[in-house]
Amino acid sequence: MGTNRGDALRIAQLTDLHLFADASASLLGIQTEDSFHRVLDLVRHTFPRPDFLLLTGDLSQDGSSASYERLRQALLTMPMPAFCLAGNHDCEARLRRILPTACVLEEQHWLVLMVSSVVPERVHGLLSEATFAWLDAQIAANAAKGVLIAFHHPVLPLGNQWMESILLHNSQRFMHLCDRHPQVKVVVNGHAHQEFDVLHGGVRYLVAPSTCVQFLPHAAQFQVDRQAPGFRLIDLWADGTITTTVHRVGAHLFQPDLVAGGY
Ligand SMILES: [Fe+2]
């Protein structure tokens, strides 16, 4: 995969779209199809253009073929490729049948690995033994490259008490893998519907806002946030450094249901 800006690989991360079979349906007061298209327009007008889109799960709220098919059509209108992975709300088999996916993307200086952290019928995440073995082998085979690993469930607690039981359950094991391979520079997750950017053990842990409803950061109990839908831009530089920014649509375009008690 080539880059379009000097020596940076530019990724636009979009996550937690929560699309429905019915394009007019809402989640917590936000029409998810509408907000996704607003965010996609922001991406379309981003310059320099991202090299690819990385969609990190909960692409559908109901796992329906109709929602995936409409998403496929929307992604085809973009001037760059898109790669999708599943979240807890998705039907992983259907997603993989309808949407573009990849496990490995290679560039001169960077290796991007996409894995599944989904446990069927569960909200929390887990990486399987096979996934750990695969990650070890991929990273070891590309010893000279910086590595980005993407999956749905965040590894580190974000500071929301209510969310802690639904994060990645084998996060210690994952951090040990990162310790063994210092070339793992950045981990990219969704699921939390809020932005997060923490350097831990030499690894940059990033979470992007949802393209629909946001959850209030640092909340003990579930609380909808009034922040706008958005996406995260990630630049991976040839020297191993990472720069990233979050971009959101206009603040007054969407009015979420602030008194909702769950989702
Ligand atoms: Fe999720």
Contact 5, 46 (CB under 8 A): no
What is the CA(123)–ligand 1 centre distance, in A? 7
Instruction: State the average pLDDT over residues 10-20.
Output: 98
Q: State the distance from the centre of ligand 1 to the C-alpha of 106, rounded, in angstroms.
A: 27
Largest separation between any pair of C-alpha atoms in the chain: 50
Counting other chains too, the contacts that 104-108 makes at CB distance below 8 Å and 24 or more residues apart are: 104/138, 105/1, 105/52, 106/1, 106/142, 106/145, 107/1, 107/2, 107/3, 107/9, 107/236, 108/238
- The tokens describing 260, both together, are 């909702």
Pairing of strands 110-114, 146-150: parallel
Does pLDDT of 39 surpass 80? yes
CA-closest candidate to residue 30, choices 222, 252, 261: 252
Q: Which CATH architecture has domain 8-248?
A: 4-Layer Sandwich (3.60)
The pLDDT assigned to 262 comes to: 79
Centre of ligand 1 from the C-alpha of residue 9, in Å: 26
Q: Which residues surround ligand 1, an ion (CB under 5 A)?
A: 58, 87-88, 191
Distances in Å between the alpha carbon of 45 and those of 16, 41, 53, 94, 214? 21, 6, 14, 30, 23
- Looking at this protein, which amino acid is placed at residue 173? R
Whether the pLDDT of residue 6 is over 70: the answer is no
| DSSP3 helix / strand / coil % (the chain, rounded to 5) | 25, 30, 50
- Domain map (residue ranges) of the chain: 8-248
Q: 56-94 pLDDT, tens per residue?
A: 999 999 999 999 999 999 999 999 999 999 999 999 999
Q: How far is the CA of 59 from the centre of ligand 1 (A)?
A: 9
Q: How far is the CA of 15 from the centre of ligand 1 (A)?
A: 9
State pLDDT tens for residues 98-140.
999 999 999 999 999 999 999 999 999 999 999 999 999 999 9
Q: What's the 154 CA to ligand 1 centre distance in angstroms?
A: 9
Query: For residue 234, what are the β-bridge partners?
Result: 11, 244
pLDDT at site 5: 46
How many A from CA of 58 to the centre of ligand 1? 5
CA of 108 to the centre of ligand 1 (A): 32
Residue 48, preceding peptide bond in cis (omega within 30° of 0): yes
Residue range 45-55: mean pLDDT, rounded: 97
Nearest to 205 by CA among 163, 165, 162, 153: 153
Residue 4 reports pLDDT greater than 50:
no
* Centroid of ligand 1 to alpha carbon of 145 (angstroms): 29
Rounded-to-10 torsion of CA 37, 17, 62, 90: 130
Residue 122 C-alpha to ligand 1 middle, in angstroms?
Answer: 10
